[in-house]
Homo-oligomer: A and B are copies of this chain.
């Protein structure tokens, strides 16, 4: 990944420290406990009652401050039957997905406009190269669940339908 490497064992983010810097300043090491290194951010099922039938829940540095400087994060993607996580890119990370439930079509498009996709079932993996447009669609019966892992603590996401039609002027 591209996140700059850590220069000490850890630097748990202090999300409100001033001034802000590239990434985040560190919470005082003396205030860090084992609880900082764990998170329940992905424990609950996301609410898929929306137009896309999908919900992305992020465990990035904003939700899990211990990820600061460590260059890793995870999302859970809940998909109702037929649900779609619409085309998007992550500006700062590659992505490795594991399907935990259901039958999911995952695809990406290269900068040369070649489309690669595959239907995956429980336990199968799919990798999306850094910065490429991709999506996930539930093509099976019932709910589906994917864990997506990233080589950045804050990969970001540019969701194409949102970006094209609803950006704030």
Contact = CB atoms under 8 A, between A and B. Distances in A.
Contact of A67 (B19, B22, B96): B96
Interface stretch (A47-55, A136-144, A158-166): A158-166
A25 B20 contact: yes
Question: How many identical chains are in the complex?
Answer: 6
Contacts of A77: none
Contact of A71 (B1, B90, B108, B117): B1
A41 B124 CA distance: 7
Chain A contact residues: helix, strand, loop or mixed: loop
Interface in A107-142: 107-118, 120, 122-133
Nearest to A107: B34
Interface of A: 1-11, 14, 17-23, 25-26, 28-29, 33-35, 37-44, 59, 64, 66-74, 87, 89-92, 94-96, 98, 100, 107-118, 120, 122-133, 147, 149-154, 156-158, 160, 162-164, 166-169
30 contacts: A1-B1, A1-B71, A1-B72, A3-B5, A3-B7, A4-B22, A6-B92, A7-B152, A8-B22, A8-B156, A11-B22, A22-B23, A33-B116, A38-B126, A43-B123, A71-B151, A72-B127, A89-B131, A91-B129, A91-B131, A98-B147, A113-B166, A113-B167, A114-B167, A114-B168, A115-B168, A132-B158, A133-B160, A147-B147, A160-B160
